[in-house]
Amino acid sequence: MKQIRNYLLASFLSASLFTLIALIGLYAFFDVIKELPRIGRGSYDIVAMLGYVALLMPGHAYELMPLAVLIGCMVAMTQLSASSEYTAIRTSGVSLGQIARTMLLFGSGCALMALLLGEFISPWSEQTAEKFKLDNTRSVVAQEFRSGLWAKDDNNFINIGEMLPDTTLLNIRVYTYDKEFKLTRSRFAQRGSYEGNGYWKLEGVRDSNIEPDRIRVETFSSLQWKSVLQPDILSVLLVVPEQMSAYNLKAYIDHLRANHQKTQRYEIALWSKLFYPLACISMALVALAFTPVSRRQGEMGVKLFTGICLGIAFHFTNRLFGHLGLLYEWNPVFSATAPTLLFLLAGLWAIAHQERR
């Protein structure tokens, strides 16, 4: 059984790896098409564009891993069935349960790889890619509002007009309110750079202190400013929540909660990050459920096509639930885990049904 297990694992690995490379190549092609209009901005030439696309590939690998596992396992099992190797394996005394455990082992290995990609490699590569692109196009980070980025720090409402790739802040406005929500001070700074331990160095500062009978204005060439905002928090603006690490998501959620702001999108992304590797295990079991038992080409083709369509459906359903959960304010755990758990249960049911037959 050990030799058969190793042979099956090698077949699954080669087919899944080939599928993953093909899917990443397809996504990279679309990335190149999307970036072509930006060539010529600043120093963003073809070489820089290809470097940017290459940095996006780990993120694509993480996103496409479950689909690659499904298609790869199905292709490998279909090839084994077409060459009668699958029939020989079953007639030699290997049960469907033993094959399922082998596929479960392979899915677990892919889940571990997806976990490493999603927690360490993909967030770093995505952030590096965006910084690299911003440096070469001499752009600033895109903001959620036309007036720039808004953040809340205790009784301070902070508006940042622009954030450079090195997290240097430009056109900073800080509005301070008292406990009765009356504006007491308005501060403007032309530039801000992080010094460490929660302190920023502000340059070109103008303070407007609002007093009961007058507004007193003070100017400073430089000023030290303490804030809970740190580069690690601000850097999340460079990547979408789905590409952030679970650690950074948790830290940013805590920051939003401390300032009484909505965390729905980031909570959905966090739970998706935690449960997404299980999708590799689900897809491996679904692939076994769609393994053709006969050598008839019609049945093999239909099952392979149906399984691939099912994998693509999972890929988009997973995204759809995230958007629906954000739109209708569903429970973040439900929004993030429902597709994976449904496909896992469907795979287990299909295997049990196939065993009874």
Q: What does the alpha-carbon distance between residue 222 and residue 194 come to, in Å, rounded to a whole number? A: 13
* Collapsed DSSP state (helix, strand, coil) of residue 223: strand
Share of the chain above pLDDT 70, in %: 90
Q: Which CATH superfamily is domain 155-227 in?
A: Lipopolysaccharide (LPS) transport protein A like domain (2.60.450.10)
- 263 burial type by CB count under 10 A (0-12 exposed, 13-18 middle, 19+ buried): middle
pTM: 0.75
Band of pLDDT at residue 293, cut at 50, 70 and 90: low
Cα distances (Å, whole numbers) of residue 34 to 25, 48, 238? 14, 14, 18
What would the pLDDT profile of 128-149 be if each residue is shown by its tens digit?
Answer: 887 788 778 765 444 445 667 7
Average pLDDT, the chain: 85
What pLDDT score was predicted for residue 295?
Answer: 58
Cα distances (Å, whole numbers) of residue 13 to 18, 105, 107, 110, 174? 8, 12, 10, 9, 54
What would the pLDDT profile of 263-274 be if each residue is shown by its tens digit?
Answer: 888 899 999 998
Is the pLDDT higher at 242 or at 63?
Answer: 63
Alpha helices in 36-95 (DSSP H): 46-82, 85-91
Amino acid at 357: R
* Collapsed DSSP state (helix, strand, coil) of residue 273: helix
Instruction: Indicate whether 280 pLDDT > 50.
Output: yes
What would the pLDDT profile of 220-261 be if each residue is shown by its tens digit?
Answer: 999 999 887 777 667 656 567 878 888 888 888 887 787 777
What pLDDT score was predicted for residue 218?
Answer: 94
Q: What does the alpha-carbon distance between residue 40 and residue 52 come to, in Å, rounded to a whole number? A: 14
What would the pLDDT profile of 153-198 be if each residue is shown by its tens digit?
Answer: 778 888 988 776 567 888 999 999 988 889 999 999 999 999 988 8
Is the pLDDT higher at 303 or at 161?
Answer: 161
Which residue in 71, 113, 89, 110 sits closest to 5, CA to CA? 89
Is the pLDDT higher at 285 or at 29?
Answer: 29
What would the pLDDT profile of 72-107 be if each residue is shown by its tens digit?
Answer: 998 898 888 888 888 888 888 888 888 989 999 999
Q: Name the phi and psi angles at 185, rounded to 5.
A: -155, 145
Residue-range domain boundaries for the chain? 2-138+264-356, 155-227
Amino acid at 240: V
The number of beta carbons lying within 10 Å of the beta carbon of residue 229 is 23
